[in-house]
Amino acid sequence: MSEPPLLRVRHLTTEFLLADAGQRARAVEDVSFDVYPGQTVGLVGESGCGKTTVLMSILRLLPANAEIRGQVFFRGIDLLTLTERQMRERRWKDISIVFQGAMNALNPVMRVGEQIREAITLHGLMPPNEAEVRVGELLELVGIPKERGAQYPFQYSGGMRQRAMIAMALACSPGLLFADEPTTALDVMVQAQILELLQGIQRKLGLAIVLVTHDLGVVAEMCDTVVVMYSGKVVEYGPVDVIFNAPQHPYTQNLLQAFPDLARPGTVLACIPGAPPRLTDLPPGCRFAPRCPARMQWCDAEVPILREVQPAHFAACHLVKDV
Amino acid sequence: MSRGGMLGRKVLFSLLTIFVVLVINFVLFRVLPGDPVRAVIGRNVKLSAEAQQTLREQFGLDKPIFPDQFLDTLGQWARGNLGISWSLRRPVAEILAAKLWNTLLLIGLGQVLSIVLGILLGLLAGWKRKTPFDVFALTFSLIAWATPTFWLGIILLAAGSTWLGLPTGGLVSPENVGKPLYTVLPDLARHLVLPTLTLTILYLGEYMLIMRSSILEVLSEDYILTAKAKGMTPWQVLWKHALKNAMLPIVTLIALNLGFTVSGAIYIETVFSYDGLGKLFQTALVKQDYPLLQGAFLLLAVSVIAANLLADVLYVLLDPRVKPT
Ligand SMILES: Nc1ncnc2c1ncn2[C@@H]1O[C@H](COP(=O)(O)OP(=O)(O)OP(=O)(O)O)[C@@H](O)[C@H]1O
Ligand code: SF4
Ligand SMILES: [Mg+2]
C-alpha cells in the first residue's frame, strides 16, 4: 500500500487497576496493527480477549481505572498524547463507533433525530437548519424514513435502532468507523441487512472500518485484513485470504476449524477445549500453551514474539520461522 | 388507548378512591364511641329528654344511617360543609382553610430547599463517586434520613434559641399575632428559620440518596458512553443526557412526598408550636373533636390521592416510554 495508514496502532497496552490491593489486569498487551483508508480490518477472538478494550483505548473512553500505554497514530498524530480537550474534538469527527449490542446506545427520552443532530452541531460542522436536513439524509441513507426521526428509540425495532446508530456514526463524516459486534443482539435476517448496509455505506463513502465480530463468515466476506487476538495479545495478523487459507498460529487454525465450513457440509465442528487464562494469573510463556495441541517444551518458558511469516503476514508462535 | 385516555382513566380512578375514602370516613365516625349531642352541649349540662330529642332531629340523627344520613352527609361535604368543630365551635372547613396556608408555607419552603439541595448534592456525589465529598454526603444523608423529626427539631430548637437568639416557637411574635402575615415578614422569617432548617435536613437525605443512586445507574448506561464517544464534555453529558433520565424517579418521589405534607407537619408543628394543620390535628385528637378529625382525615386522604395522580401525570409527561396499557 502506497498510501500512509489512517490508523497506526503500536504496542498498545491497557491495564485495569483492580480494587483489591494493587492488582492489575492486563487486558491488552503490545497490540499493533494498521488501518488503511477505505479498508476493513476484522478484529476476532474469543469473548474477553480484549477486542472492545482495544477500541475503547484508542478512543480513550475507558473508565478512570484504566492505564493505556503505546502509540495510536491517527493521520500521523498520536491520540494518546493529546489533551482530553483535544481528544474530545476528534471523537466522532475522526473516529465514530457503533457499540456492542447497542440496544440501549440511544438515549430513551430523546428523539432519535435530535440525537443525530446533536452530534453534528456539537462539533460546529453546520448551522442547525442545515443539520436538520442532513439528519433526514442520514436517516434515508440507512433506510429509515426521515419522519421517524421525530420518534423515540422505544418506537424502533432492534434493527432500526442499530440503523439509527449507524446513521449517527456517519453524522460527522468520519474517516474511520469502529463497529463492535454491531449485530450480536439482532436476529439472523436483520444481521445480514445491517452488514449489507455497512458494506454499501463503505463503498459509497469510502470510509475505513474496524469490525469486531465472532463470525468468521462475516470476516471472510467483509474484511481486507484480520487481526486475531488471544488473551489480550495479537497472535496472528495478515490479509484475509492468507489467514483463511494458510493460518500459521495453532489458535487461528483452531478457530477456523471451529467455524462450520459452508463449502464442505457435514464437516465436524471442532471446538477448542479449555478456557482462556485469567488476566491476573497468566501463564509465563505462550498464553495459548495450556490449550495448544502443538505445544512444545519451551512454549511454557518463553513468550513467542510476533514474527513476519511472509510480507504483511505475522504470527506469534514458536513454530513459526521468520522469512 | 391514547396517552390522554390513560390520564383520563387515572383521574377517574382517583375520584373513585376518594369516594371510597368518603365512605370509610363516614362509617368510621359512626362506629366511634361517644354521643354527638352530649359532645356538643358539654358533658355536665343537664338536658331534658325532649330537648335532646329536638337536637337529634336538628342534626338529622333520628333518621336511618343508610341511606338518609349517608346521602345527607355526602351532600354536605360536596358543598364544602364539613360540619362544626365541637371544640372550636366554628365550621371545620373554615378552620382547615385558615391553617392550611401556614402549613403550606412551612412545608413548601422545607420541600423546595431540600429538593434543590438534595438533587444537586446527589448529582455531585454520584458524579464524584468514592471521593471524600461523596463519602461525606452519603454519611450525612443516611444519618439525616434516619433521624426522628421531633428529636432533630428539639436539638435545633435548643441550639438555635440559645446561641442565635432565634424564637422558640410560633408563627410570629405574640405582639404580631392576628396581623396580616405580609406586614410582619421579617418576624415571620425569623420564626421560620428553625423549623425550615429541620425539615430541609430531614428531607434532604432522602432526595440526595435517591438522586445519587439514580444518577449512578444512569451513568452506567450505554447511551452515556455514546454521548462521551460523540465528544461531549462531562458537563454536557450530565446535563443533556443523564439529568432527565435520572430525574424520573425523583419526580415521582417529590409528588408523593407532597401528599404527605399535611401528615408530615404534625411532628414539626408540635415541636415548634407552629400554628398550622399539624398542630390543629393534634389538638383535635386530644380533645376528641370528631368533626374536626373527620375533616382532617378527608384532607389527608385527598392530598395523598391527588399527589399520586400528580406523580402519574408527571411520569407520563416526562417519559415517552410510558406505554398506554
Ligand atoms: N473496567 C474494567 N475493569 C477491569 N477489567 C475489565 C474492565 N473492562 C474490561 N475488563 C476485562 O478486560 C478483558 C477484556 O475485555 P473486553 O470487553 O475488551 O473483551 P472482548 O474481547 O470485547 O469480549 P466480548 O467478545 O465478550 O465483547 C476481560 O477479561 C474483562 O473482564
Ligand atoms: S508457541 Fe507453542 S504453545 Fe504457543 S501457540 Fe505456538 S506452539 Fe502452541
Ligand atoms: Mg467486546
**Could you tell me the pLDDT band of residue B51, with boundaries at 50, 70 and 90?**
confident
Residue with cell 384532607: B299
Phi, psi torsion values for A266, nearest 5 degrees:
95, -10
ipTM score here?
0.91
What type of residue is A241?
A: D
Q: For position A8, what pLDDT does the model report?
A: 97
Q: How far apart are CA B112 and CA B39, in angstroms?
A: 41
For residues B133-162, give the mean pLDDT: 89
pLDDT value at A158 more than 80: yes
The protein residue with its alpha carbon nearest to ligand 1, atom 12, reads: A27
pLDDT value at B325 more than 50: no
Terminal CA-to-CA distance of chain A, rounded, Å? 20
Q: For position A270, what pLDDT does the model report?
A: 58
Domain ranges of chain A: 7-94+174-315
The reported pTM is 0.83
Q: Burial of A142 by CB count in 10 Å (0-12 exposed, 13-18 middle, 19+ buried)?
A: buried
* Cβ under 8 Å to B: A residues 115-134: 118-119, 122-123
pLDDT value at B222 more than 50: yes
Does residue A289 line the site of ligand 2, with CB under 6 A? yes
* Distance of residue B229 Cα from the nearest chain A Cα, in angstroms: 6
Answer yes or no: do B231 and A93 touch at CB < 8 A: yes
pLDDT value at B165 more than 50: yes
Closest by Cβ to B230, choosing from A110, A122, A154: A122
A168 or B107, greater pLDDT: A168
Report the CATH architecture of A7-94+174-315.
3-Layer(aba) Sandwich (3.40)
Tell me how far the alpha carbon of residue A228 lies from the centroid of ligand 3, in angstroms. Answer: 14
pLDDT value at A263 more than 90: no
For residues B316-324, give the mean pLDDT: 75
Number of H helices, E strands in chain A: 9, 12
Say which CATH class B93-318 falls into: mainly alpha
For residues B84-104, give the mean pLDDT: 87
Does residue A318 line the site of ligand 2, with CB under 6 A? yes
- Helix/strand/coil percentages in chain B, nearest 5: 80, 0, 20
The protein residue with its alpha carbon nearest to ligand 1, atom 11, reads: A27
Q: For position B234, what pLDDT does the model report?
A: 92
Residue A235 cell numbers, joined: 497472535
Q: Is A97 on the interface with B (CB under 8 A)?
A: yes
Q: Is A63 on the interface with B (CB under 8 A)?
A: no
Closest by Cβ to A104, choosing from B221, B236, B248: B221
Q: Calculate what percentage of chain A has a pLDDT beyond 70.
A: 94
Does residue A230 line the site of ligand 1, with CB under 6 A? no
Q: Is B236 on the interface with A (CB under 8 A)?
A: yes
* Distance of residue B228 Cα from the nearest chain A Cα, in angstroms: 7
* Distance of residue A85 Cα from the nearest chain B Cα, in angstroms: 8
Mean pLDDT estimate for chain A: 90
Give residue-wise pLDDT tens across range B236-256: 999 999 998 999 888 888 888
- Asked if B110 and B203 count as a contact pair (C-beta separation under 8 A), the reply is yes
Q: Which ligand is nearest to the CA of A66?
A: 1
**Residues on chain B touching A119 (C-beta within 8 angstroms):** 230
Every domain of chain B with CATH number 1.10.3720.10 lies at: 93-318
